[in-house]
Structure 1
Amino acid sequence: MASKLALRASAASVAIMTAIALAPPAVADQLDPIPGNGVFVVGRDIAPGLYHTSGTASTFGVWINNVPTQDSMCAWFTYSTPDANKDHVVQTNMSVGPMFANINTTIKAFESQNCEPWTRVP
């Protein structure tokens, strides 16, 4: 009788371990909205799609000869590699006002600097 119980317990352990091994890996929730500062890996941190920001997160703007300084602007970059290497920029834009960024499936990383949060456009 003891060997039957041991066999059942062993079979139950194998079934549980198999179920755990076959379970898909846990995926963290993707960010939406995307924070206004940082580098985000597409697929892991954020989903591909069209995103919108209200513009710069600066509380005040500095203008020289009617041109805003770089520190007064919101800037974004898309990269063809997940390490956000500046040699692999696909697209970039900067503005003090509202902007869109199209993060398609060929993009590997998205960087935002000094921006209001980015929300996904349905």
Structure 2
Amino acid sequence: MRLHVTRAAAVVAVAAMASAAPASAEPMNPIPGNGFFIVGPDIAPGLYHTDGSASGFQVWVNDVPTQDSMCLWFTYSTPDANKDNVVATNMSVGPMYANINSTVKAFESRNCQPWTRVP
């Protein structure tokens, strides 16, 4: 079987594809508890809150929780995970906030419950 497409039909199809607006995704809210996110396309600037560690178990050594038991986050001045560009960081087993202001270019979260934007 041979498919025959006229030149006019092909031009119309290409023009329709070119004029279609790309699908725009809304920034995530809540932000997943694990991942690296670019401010702008992935997440919006703002103040975010998490209920803390997503770890189902807490391991403490000498009354100090291990890093695997804690929620850890970083903000970056560039859109990559280069630790030389960390603006702020924090870790906790309990609830905490992260301020992702307009100068921050990326946000990384590890072992945290989802982050919800505070109105």
TM-score of the two chains, using structure 1 as the length reference: 0.80
Alpha-carbon separation, structure 2, partners of 1:106 and 1:113: 21
Letter matched to residue 43 of structure 1: G
Which is greater in Rg? 1
* Partner-residue secondary structure (3-state), 2:80: coil
Measured after TM superposition, the shift of residue 82 of structure 1 is 0.5
Q: Alignment RMSD, CA only?
A: 1.7
1:97 aligned partner: 94
Q: Kindly report structure 1 stretches of 4+ aligned residues shifted beyond 6 Å.
A: none
* Partner-residue secondary structure (3-state), 1:92: strand
* Partner-residue secondary structure (3-state), 1:84: coil
> Is 1:120–2:117 an aligned residue pair?
yes
2:56 aligned partner: 59
Number of residue-to-residue matches in the alignment = 106
Question: Which structure shows the higher helix fraction?
Answer: 1
What is the percent sequence identity of the aligned residues?
75
> Is 1:31–2:22 an aligned residue pair?
no
Question: Could you list the runs of 5+ residues in structure 1 that have no partner in the other structure?
Answer: 1-8
Letter matched to residue 95 of structure 2: P
1:83-118 C-alpha deviation (Å, 9 max, x unpaired): 121110000000000000000010000000000000
1:88 aligned partner: 85
Letter matched to residue 64 of structure 1: V
1:46 aligned partner: 43
1:20 aligned partner: 19
